[in-house]
Structure 1
Amino acid sequence: MSSKTRGRPDFLLLFVTVFLVGFGLIMIFSASSSIAIIKHNSPWHYVMKQGVFALIGLFVMLIFMCIPYTWWKKATPVLLILSIITLVLVLFAGNDINGARRWFVLGGINLQPAEFAKLSIILYMANLVSRKGENIRNFRRGLLPILAVVGLVLLLVMKQPDFGTVLILFFIALTILVVGGVDLRHLFLLSLILIPIFVYLAVSQSYRLQRITTFLNPMSNPQSSDYQLIQSLYALGHGGLSGTGLGGSIQKLFYLPEAHTDFIFAVIGEELGFIGTSLLMFVFFIFIWRGYTTAIRCDDSFGLLLGVGIVMMIFIQIVLNIGGVTGCLPITGLPLPLVSYGGSSLILCLASTGILLNISRYNSYRRQEKD
């Protein structure tokens, strides 16, 4: 597949991505300026750091948009091994924050290996499932080797612990396997084993159990475990239909924890109201729609599975974040893709979008050829 066969990228997907990043920077400044003054003597601290990550991420996205997506087949083994190594190292040399070892701190910047493990798992599974073809329906030769590698990565992420990322990786793997043609009977039998394990993991730690009880009864402990969700719901309710106006949030003023990270959707709801959050979800819908369209139009099984895995990674994170902030799902501590503060998440999403855009370039060429 030579560079001469590349067409134009999906400009709507590109525009929506850049819009979400820009919108995120505006909302991060609005949500973080007050706390940034207290902690760092500058209202620009968090948005400037995110701006640097955004520039790096956009640059990576443009590079990946120009790299033929088939090249990633060659890089998959190296990326997977590096991901596993970093997931092991972070357990011993990572920075401990609130009892979790998920980050390397380099020059004051937190890097989260589990974020980049998402993309390496997508690449690994898309490559292996596409190569196995019909053999994927054979449990021993097709499914078992994949489950062994994915299971290892899930175990390492769970040791950090990071249950939210485990859920994302699980849904990514499940989606790629189903689209790749795995025998559904095998998945059903596996689910009989995995569901009890997930239930145990969800209730084995007190803070996870508290998140579930908060979800079931958000007013049971308003000064402790339920505090964050209650403040989030106050913010969304205060915003009403049209919001308090940009910068007008009250809950971000030291009432709502993690206002510029996991709970930025609540600040958006308070300042821009139901109309603003509805428009944001519509933009996310366009992103997912164009990404999904890009994936299913690819006549190469590797490109199709790769695209579907990337779209699922971003989609499930959107659902879990907004569901947690609004009380529709238990809180998972996951950021809102492309919008929340967080360098690792932003760079991963933009790099993955760059791969999607490259797939769309070859789809564009094929459509032009048919015309």
Structure 2
Amino acid sequence: MKQMKRFSKMHYLDFYILIPYFILCVIGILMVYSSSSYQLLDSDLGTSSKAIKQTVYFLFSIICMSFVYRINLTVLRKPKMMYFILTMTFLSIIALPFIGTSVGGAKRWINLGVLLFQPSELVPLVIVLYLASNLAKTDTLVPFRFKDHKRSLLVAIFFMFFVALQPNIAGASMIFILVLVLFLSSGLSPWFMSMALIGFVAIKRLGTVLLLSIPTNWMPQKFGYLVTRFEVMQNPFIDPTGKGFQTSNAYYAMHNGGFWGLGLGNSIQKKGFLPAPDTDFIFAICIEELGLIFSLGILFLVFFMVAHLFLLAIRSKNLYYSYLYIGCGMLLLLQVSVNVGSLLGFIPMTGLTFPFISYGGSSLLILSITLGIALNARATEIRETSRQEGGIA
């Protein structure tokens, strides 16, 4: 009989996820310092104050990731725990009109003192946990039937609706695509997904035409921003000093950078020309200061993690873990795609941050927890496989 060896869970860390994560977070702290320094100096504040905060957020996120990594994933699969998480997430969303903090004209944040927490950023992760648990209920892949997943679909639509009401159309769209991909991976016909995506694109195109061609006085005031963003998407330079100010200056920043960049700290557009250079538009500052080549390297690190998670999902023999890998990978992929896509003008400006690079504790915390869950699933799967083989315990 083989001698059983015992290792702590830390022995099974997946460094293909962890190393890119650390590299991106360090780059993020440097870019937050560079992109925010001018505005802070202009406001008579310490030029490194935001970078210091981002470092604190990073350290706190590592602690939360470590905690999530060590918990037993079977606890998250229990119906009572899942319903508790869903309920708390829903309560945090409906409480926004009463306790929320308005930033940029939208009341999507809860001020926790140490950071501004955005509940809608937590919803996609909760949806991944819920759907992974429900879709893998029998631990065997069976033909997909909608009648078997009515509850899952209703929960997803429920959260989509309330996220869209904030208003956060980009967040609701992300949830829609995430649910569609998870359903597809569980056996939903590719034809259905193709038709759904065609319908989604058609509705988006029709919505663009309607918003730009008919009077919008009937639209609630808080949704009025949609018209402006669709107009700017059609022509980023439609009003360079007004409604197109953000997008046009993002284009100038990327043009200034060229292949090799102006050098760290030498951005021109961050000096009052580009709003929110340390959050929504930080990738434009990356291109301006570090150049296109280095910025593509940043994108490569994110896509490398996404590809690795998808590869783990394909190779996994455990259905629950496979859905977790797919869900976590899609969260990263959607966030970086939406951020860069809106920056380039392919989709309307959304306000989504660039993963691990943009300033802010809420996004970094949620994404770190997301990777912590993926790391936990990978470590647990290796240990279970080793036990079955009678080797390492």
Give the CA deviation at 1:191: 6.7
Shift of the 277–367 alpha-carbon distance from structure 1 to 2, 3 Å rule, reads: farther
Give the CA deviation at 1:183: 4.7
Contact (CA 8 Å) 1:136, 1:143: kept in 2 or not? no
Partner in structure 2 of residue 65 of structure 1: 69
Out of 349, 368, 380, the residue aligned to residue 350 of structure 1 is 368
Deviation per CA, 1:91-148, whole angstroms, max 9, x where unpaired?
Answer: 33211233321011122631111111221111111111212667773333x2322221
Cα distance in structure 2, aligned partners of 1:40 and 1:131: 56
Out of 321, 338, 356, the residue aligned to residue 303 of structure 1 is 321
Cα distance in structure 2, aligned partners of 1:341 and 1:9: 27
Give the CA deviation at 1:150: 0.9
Secondary structure, counterpart of 1:223 in structure 2: coil
The amino acid of 2:229's aligned partner reads: R
Cα distance in structure 2, aligned partners of 1:114 and 1:268: 26
Shift of the 91–187 alpha-carbon distance from structure 1 to 2, 3 Å rule, reads: farther
Partner in structure 1 of residue 15 of structure 2: 11
Partner in structure 2 of residue 100 of structure 1: 106
Out of 268, 277, 284, the residue aligned to residue 259 of structure 1 is 277
Contact (CA 8 Å) 1:105, 1:111: kept in 2 or not? yes
Give the CA deviation at 1:184: 5.3
TM-score norm. by structure 1 comes to 0.91
- Structure whose residues are more often helix by fraction: 1
Moved more, 323-332 or 273-282: 323-332
Contact (CA 8 Å) 1:5, 1:362: kept in 2 or not? no
Cα distance in structure 1, aligned partners of 2:338 and 2:352: 7
Cα distance in structure 2, aligned partners of 1:281 and 1:188: 27
List aligned pairs for 1:25-104, cutoff 5 A. Answer: 25-39=29-43, 41-74=45-78, 75-104=81-110
Secondary structure, counterpart of 1:17 in structure 2: helix
Cα distance in structure 2, aligned partners of 1:23 and 1:83: 31
Cα distance in structure 2, aligned partners of 1:189 and 1:273: 39
Give the CA deviation at 1:53: 1.2
Secondary structure, counterpart of 2:95 in structure 1: helix
Contact (CA 8 Å) 2:61, 2:364: kept in 1 or not? yes
Shift of the 194–231 alpha-carbon distance from structure 1 to 2, 3 Å rule, reads: closer
Cα distance in structure 2, aligned partners of 1:242 and 1:159: 42
Secondary structure, counterpart of 2:276 in structure 1: coil
Contact (CA 8 Å) 2:61, 2:365: kept in 1 or not? yes
Partner in structure 2 of residue 322 of structure 1: 340
Deviation per CA, 1:339-361, whole angstroms, max 9, x where unpaired?
Answer: 11111110000001011111221
Shift of the 367–294 alpha-carbon distance from structure 1 to 2, 3 Å rule, reads: same
Out of 162, 165, 173, the residue aligned to residue 167 of structure 1 is 173
State the number of aligned residues: 368
Deviation per CA, 1:178-216, whole angstroms, max 9, x where unpaired?
Answer: 101135566677678867766677746432222222222
Secondary structure, counterpart of 1:309 in structure 2: helix
Contact (CA 8 Å) 1:69, 1:303: kept in 2 or not? no
List aligned pairs for 1:79-158, cutoff 5 A. Answer: 79-107=85-113, 109-131=115-137, 137-140=144-147, 142-158=148-164
Can you give the 5+ residue segments of structure 1 that lack an aligned partner in the other structure?
Answer: none
Cα distance in structure 2, aligned partners of 1:195 and 1:282: 27
Out of 16, 24, 28, the residue aligned to residue 24 of structure 1 is 28
Shift of the 292–135 alpha-carbon distance from structure 1 to 2, 3 Å rule, reads: closer
Secondary structure, counterpart of 1:335 in structure 2: coil
Cα distance in structure 2, aligned partners of 1:175 and 1:28: 33
TM-score norm. by structure 2 comes to 0.86
> What is the root-mean-square deviation in Å for CA atoms of aligned residues?
2.5
Can you give the 5+ residue segments of structure 2 that lack an aligned partner in the other structure?
Answer: 1-5, 212-218
Cα distance in structure 2, aligned partners of 1:296 and 1:65: 21
Secondary structure, counterpart of 1:154 in structure 2: helix
Secondary structure, counterpart of 1:341 in structure 2: coil
Cα distance in structure 2, aligned partners of 1:131 and 1:153: 21
Identity value in percent: 28
The amino acid of 2:106's aligned partner reads: A
Give the CA deviation at 1:50: 1.5
Contact (CA 8 Å) 1:297, 1:363: kept in 2 or not? no
Q: Which has the larger radius of gyration?
A: 2
Out of 334, 337, 354, the residue aligned to residue 355 of structure 2 is 337
Secondary structure, counterpart of 2:111 in structure 1: strand
